Amino acid sequence: METITKAEVQTGLTGGTSGTSGPALTAAGKVLNARPDRPGIAVDPGGTIFLIISFGSGENAALARAWLAEAAELGPVQWLTFADFTPETRRQLSQSLSSSLNGVRIMVVGPQFDVLQTLALARAAGALENEVRSLVTNTADLPVYCAHCRATSRVVGGVGDAVTCPACARTLEIHAHLSSVRGSYLASDALARELP
């Protein structure tokens, strides 16, 4: 975890925690933009402190660096980068989010699962909708909340698909309901209608 200043950005010393395309979503689930080469998300000039969170590398890291350079002109910046959202990532993000100060602006870029889980953490830490901006760059995987075992898991699929719950092995149907509190889609037993 590192705070980046304007001078460090200009000299190229932009480090962070190391780590390695579809529709973009805000914290509220609204479609913003589908392509990282046309991000459409600018740094909020009303912020006084900035927390940039990126998942993966390549285009995601490049977008995070662009945000970092823009935010460094306005105030202190912290950039956290992770390969993906894991229990250790959750711990580090929770710690960083819980120590956020008034005026913070949080920007998140990465695959759908990682972004939605991070937005749920930010919301649980007290972030308001206008304090958070996000860009989903890959919708291949998504978080699903199993209504039966109550686990949130990463699955490959989309709304309406049938998938196997990694936690309880039930065949689940992914519903369109996206919980912003849980950062996941609701899923329930796809075979329940067929039971006698």
Give per-residue pLDDT as tens, 103-128: 899 999 999 999 999 999 999 999 99
- 11's CB contacts (< 8 A; 6+ apart) are none
Among 65, 75, 95, 85, which residue's Cα sits nearest to residue 1? 95
* H-run or E-run covering 40: none
* H-run or E-run covering 101: none
For the entire predicted model, the pTM comes to 0.78
Residue corresponding to tokens 């959750």 = 90
Among 103, 132, 104, which residue's Cα sits nearest to residue 120? 132
CB 143 within 8 A of CB 113: yes
d(C-alpha 184, C-alpha 71), whole Å: 29
- pLDDT score of 35: 42
Lowest-pLDDT range, 20-24, 66-70, 72-76, 178-182?
20-24
